[in-house]
Amino acid sequence: MSDKWLGQQERSNLFFIKLICAMASKMGRRFTRILLPLITLYFFFTSRTTRQSLGSYWLRVTGKKAGAWKLFKHIHWFATTVLDRVFFVTEQFEYFDIRLHNLDIMDDMIEKHGKCIMLGSHLGSFEVLRALVVKNRHVALKILMQRGHNEMVTSVLDSLNVDIANTVINLGEEDTVFNIQEAVDNGFSIGMLGDRCIGNERLVHSALLGGEVVLPAGPILLASILKLPVVMFYGLYRGGNRYDIYFDLLDEQISIDRNQREQDVEKIADRYMASLEKHIRIEPANWFNFYDYWHEHD
C-alpha cells in the first residue's frame, strides 16, 4: 500500500518526550545529545522494519549492502534532527551553523508573485526552515500537515511556540480547502511535504534511485489550481551543528492540460523526484522515510 507508513504506530511515550524537551530547554544541546546513542540503540534493536528499509535504501544509493554501523549512524542522525526541532521551535538558533543555498530562487518568486508553494520531502529537517521563516518573517507561511500522525511529538512541540503552531492547516478536515484558499487570498505561501501518500487520494507514479515509487498528485494539482510557483526546499543535516538549506525551483507556473492530465502530472512528478535524488546524493543519511518506500517487501 502506498500509504503503509500511516500504519506505523507512534513509538513514543509522552512523559519521555516531555522529559527530553525539558532537558533540552534547561541543559542545552550538547548535554542532551549524550542521550541520543541510547535512544538510537533502542530503535535499532526494536525495529526490524526500519533496519530492513534502510538496508534497501543504502543498496540503491551505493550499490553495496550497508553494515550495522551505517544503519545505526543513519538512525542517530534522524534522532539528532528530532532533538534539534526543540531548539528550532524555541528559536535557539545560536546553537547552529545554518547555511542558505540558492535563496535568490525564493526571493525571486516572492518578488514576482508575492507568495509560492514551498514543497518539501522527508529528506532532512522540515522544522529548520519552518522556524526560520516564522522567526524572520521573510515569507508569510501556512503549513499543510496531518496532525494525527506523530500526534504526541507534534502536541508537545506546538506547546513550545504558539506562533509556529498557528501556522498549521490540518489536512483531512471538511474546511481544509477553504482554509487553504483563505490563506492564499491573505497573502500566505503554502508549505507542504510531497513524498508520502496519506490515504484515499489521487496518485502518480515516478522513479527514484532506479525504482518505481508512488506519490500524491495533490500538491501538483493544488499548485495548478492556485497558479502559484513551486519552490522545493531541503534542510539537510550535515553533522555536528550544521544545517544546509537548499532551494530548487520546480516550476514557476504549473499548467496541466485536462486532455492529458495524467501525463502532465507525471512529468512534474518526475522533476520533483529528480530534484529529490540530486539532494539525496549531497547527504544520503538525511533520508527519513523509514518504511518500505519501494514496496520491495510487500
Q: Establish if 298 belongs to a structural domain.
A: no
Q: Which long-range contacts (CB under 8 A, 24 or more apart) does 138-141 make?
A: 139/106, 139/110, 139/115, 139/189, 140/115, 140/186, 140/187, 140/188, 140/189, 141/167, 141/188, 141/189, 141/190, 141/191
Distance in angstroms (rounded) separating the CA atoms of residues 181 and 179: 6
Q: Establish if 102 belongs to a structural domain.
A: yes
Q: Establish if 19 belongs to a structural domain.
A: yes
Question: In 10 A of CB 138, how many CB atoms?
Answer: 13
Q: Look at residues 174, 184, 254 and name the one whose alpha carbon lies nearest to residue 217.
A: 254
| pLDDT for residue 10 | 46
Number of structural domains, the chain?
A: 1
pTM beyond 0.85: yes
Q: Establish if 23 belongs to a structural domain.
A: yes
**Residues 8-30, mean pLDDT to the nearest whole number:** 67
Which three three-digit cell numbers place residue 7?
500504519
pLDDT tens digit sequence for 64-101: 999 999 999 999 999 899 889 888 888 888 999 999 99
Q: Establish if 223 belongs to a structural domain.
A: yes
Question: In 10 A of CB 278, how many CB atoms?
Answer: 13
Distance in angstroms (rounded) separating the CA atoms of residues 187 and 244: 27
Q: Which domain holds residue 165?
A: 4-286
Residue 296 has pLDDT above 70, yes or no: yes
pLDDT tens digit sequence for 107-137: 999 999 999 999 999 999 988 887 777 676 6
Q: Establish if 32 belongs to a structural domain.
A: yes
Q: Establish if 291 belongs to a structural domain.
A: no
pLDDT tens digit sequence for 238-274: 999 999 999 999 999 888 888 898 999 999 999 999 9
Contact 99, 242 (CB under 8 A): yes
Average pLDDT, the chain: 86
Confidence tier at 7 by pLDDT (50, 70, 90): very low
Q: Establish if 147 belongs to a structural domain.
A: yes
